[in-house]
Amino acid sequence: MKVLVVGTGAREHAIADALKDDVELYVYMSKINPGMSKIAEFKQGDEGEVEKVAAYAVEKDIDIAFIGPEAPLGKGIVDELQKNGIKCVGPTQSAARIETDKSFMRKLFEDYEIEGSLVYKVFDNSQDVSEFLDEFDRDVVVKPVGLTGGKGVKIVGDHLKDNEEAKEYSCEVIDNVMGGFAQVIIEERLIGEEFTIQAFCDGENLAPMPAAQDHPHAFEGDVGAITGGMGSYSDVGGLLPFLTQEDYDKAVGIMKATLKAIAEEAEPYKGILYGQFMLTADGPKLIEYNARFGDPEAMNVLPLLKTPLYEVCQAIVDGTLDEVEFENRASVCKYIVPDGYPETEYAGELIEVDEEAIEDMGAKVFYAAVSQEDDGIHLSGSRALGIVASGESIEEAEKIAEKACEFVKGNVYHRRDVGTTELVNKRVEHMKEILN
């Protein structure tokens, strides 16, 4: 079987790594990823130029294309590939609106009476924003309607001082057409603990993966700017220390109802559905969906996959998806980023990565926004690589991952607290306070 992975980062590297032993592997990437370039035949090019990607897939006689990032999905890469006879793990442009158009997602919950929604409004002018926030007596979250790479969301009480600052930011989103829409979504701020469930989907059936928790703040102690994600963990049993089986099952039920609604409203959804939830005193609430694997959460679950990924891919495109098995282990991912990230002066600098030493520790390296040049691996202004380890407990996995981070040298930083017992217990105690 010939499989093409589309994308450049650590998420795509994790996908490729899970496929490499079972298929003839190809990659289409904008930068030369040091990890994927070793295990696959590749072409360097803009993944957003969907006609060129499709032409490459036809040239290489690809059987299945696995689409990693959200931007090409929003541009209709699956539609273009399917037009050329290439089956895809990834939703069509219409179905991908579950991520690319947040107002579509929220309306879907309304129209199909799906549980787990929250109070929200969509605005296209500053006057209506101001009137709404003057009357709304709770803190809010402000989101661009379209894609902003996980960096457009701002929360009152975190990034914004009060609802007055929320007004200012909302106007900025509208005026600058942030994310491609001259609109903004304002949602009630939920109080609880965030968690992620990712699921394989074949248009009708859904196979959920272990839950994970991301750490989006740039610095230790959950402070600093919201980033694409500084690390994540999963636990033995597929749950999280603060997440019960009942909570997990409710969240999966919300995702199943969404899958049916997308098929009714748009097209059958084939690929990866990522549900970002907040566990509240009233149970799981859906914050947003992504139409692809999370990054870093893909790195938590894919190394634990027992069912061969190529078999899952075949089942997705054939519409025969059944249960997918994972090893009963915990995992911790820590992201190495340039010092000062998300604002950094070290873009373009060389780093040293001792892959052999990291693998000897029992950990894995997944390369993200770096570039392989003749003289070595160069940083960009974004996240550089994920270090992932698994173990019989979160504590064991965290210790391995933390030790493995020592084998990356340069002007780099990582959150040492991701996956630590202290931080995990903080999450558990926070949830207890909310429930009591």
Q: Please, which residues have CB within 8 angstroms of residue 246's CB and are 6 or more apart in sequence?
A: none
Q: Which of 326, 288, 286, 273 is nearest to 304 (CA)?
A: 326
* Tens-level pLDDT at each residue, the chain (436 residues): 999 999 999 999 999 999 999 999 999 999 999 999 999 999 999 999 999 999 999 999 999 999 999 999 999 999 999 999 999 999 999 999 999 988 899 899 999 999 998 888 888 898 888 888 888 888 898 988 888 776 788 888 877 888 888 888 998 989 989 888 888 888 888 999 999 999 999 999 999 999 999 999 999 999 988 898 999 999 999 999 999 999 999 999 999 999 999 999 999 999 999 999 999 999 999 999 999 999 999 999 999 999 999 999 999 999 999 999 999 999 999 999 999 999 999 999 999 999 999 999 999 999 999 999 999 999 999 999 999 999 999 999 999 999 999 999 999 999 999 999 999 999 999 999 999 8
CA angle 6, 11, 17 (to 5 degrees): 80
Q: Could you report the per-residue pLDDT of 198-212, keeping only the tens digit for each?
A: 999 999 999 999 999
- Beta strand extents in 189-307 (DSSP E only): 193-202, 206-208, 213-214, 217-219, 223-226, 231-234, 270-280, 283-290
Token couple for 194: 């965030």
Handedness of CA 5, 15, 414, 429 (dihedral sign): positive
Beta bridge partners of 371: 378
- How far CA 259 is from CA of 119, 205, 279, in Å, comes to 21, 8, 21
- How far CA 371 is from CA of 8, 20, 34, 367, 376, in Å, comes to 10, 21, 7, 9, 8
In the prediction, which pLDDT does 96 show? 97
pTM for the structure as a whole: 0.93
Determine the straight-line distance between the first and last CA of the chain, rounded to whole angstroms.
53
CA distance 10 to 190: 30
Token couple for 242: 């603060």
Cβ atoms < 10 Å from Cβ of 260: 15
Q: Are strands 64-67 and 87-89 parallel, antiparallel or unpaired?
A: parallel
Q: Which of 143, 170, 222 is nearest to 422 (CA)?
A: 222
In the prediction, which pLDDT does 150 show? 65
CA distance 145 to 151: 12
- How far CA 417 is from CA of 156, 339, 402, in Å, comes to 24, 16, 9
CA distance 187 to 166: 11
Q: How many CA atoms lie within 13 A of 186 on its CB side?
A: 28
In the prediction, which pLDDT does 120 show? 83
CA distance 211 to 197: 5
Beta bridge partners of 24: 2
HEC string of 56-88 equals HHHHCCCCEEEECCHHHHHCCHHHHHHHCCCEE
